[in-house]
Structure 1
Amino acid sequence: MRHLLVFAERDDAEEVAEIVAVEFPGIGVPEVVRETLAGEDDAEDAQWLVVIEDPSGALSPEGFTRLEALAERYEGWLESG
C-alpha cells in the first residue's frame, strides 16, 4: 500500500519525512517529491508529497492515525491507496 502526505511547502514535506523515518523505521525512509497539479502552468501551484511505501501493510491503525495528525499539523492531508 502507498500513502501520500500532501503539503504546499517543501520544508513541511521534508520535516514530516524525517519525522516519519524516525517514528516508523519498519517502513523505511519516505521519498519527498514535487508534483505539479494537472493543468497548472505556475510552478507555485506544485504540491510536495511524502511518499510512504508500505507493501506489506505493516502500518497499524494507530500509525495511520499518527500520519493523519502529522499531515494536519503541517496543514496538509493524507491520501492512501
Structure 2
Amino acid sequence: MHESHPSRQLLVLPDRDTAEEVAADVVRRWPELGEPELVREALAGEDDAEDAQWLVVLTRPGDAWADALLTALDALAAAHDGWREDA
C-alpha cells in the first residue's frame, strides 16, 4: 500500500544562502515541482535575527509525492545540515 503524503513538503535549512542553493538545486533536478517558496522562520522564543531557520516550501497538488522523490529530498536536505517535514 502506498502511503499518502501532504501536498506540501518543507525542507528546513540553517540559513538563507543554503536555502537559496537548495531551492535552485530542486528547480534544476525536479523542474516539475515548479518554483519553491523561501520562508524565514524564527525559532520559538528567539528574538535574534540570526536565530532563524529557512524553509524551502514545495507544493504539489494531490498525493503526487513518490517515495523515491521524498527520499531524494531527505538526502538533499541532510547534505545541507537540514531535514524534510510534511506540511
TM-score (norm 1): 0.91
Structure 1 counterpart of 2:24, from 14, 18, 27: 18
**What residue is the counterpart of 2:66 in the other structure?**
60
The number of equivalent residue pairs is: 81
- Give 1:55 deviation, angstroms: 2.1
Q: Matched residues in 2 for 1:37 and 1:47: separation? A: 7
**What residue is the counterpart of 1:43 in the other structure?**
49
Deviations 1:15-45 (A, max 9, x none): 1101111222222110111111222111111
Structure 2: stretches of 5+ with no match in the other structure:
1-6
Q: Which amino acid aligns with 1:71?
A: A
- Give 1:60 deviation, angstroms: 1.1
- Give 1:74 deviation, angstroms: 0.2
Q: In structure 2, do the counterparts of structure 1 residues 65 and 24 end up closer, same or farther at CA, with 3 Å as the change threshold? A: same
Q: Which amino acid aligns with 2:59?
A: E
54-63 vs 70-79, which deviates more?
A: 54-63
Q: Which amino acid aligns with 1:65?
A: T
- Give 1:61 deviation, angstroms: 0.8
State the structure with more CA Rg: 2
Give the % identical residues: 54
Structure 1: stretches of 5+ with no match in the other structure:
none
Structure 2 counterpart of 1:72, from 54, 59, 78: 78
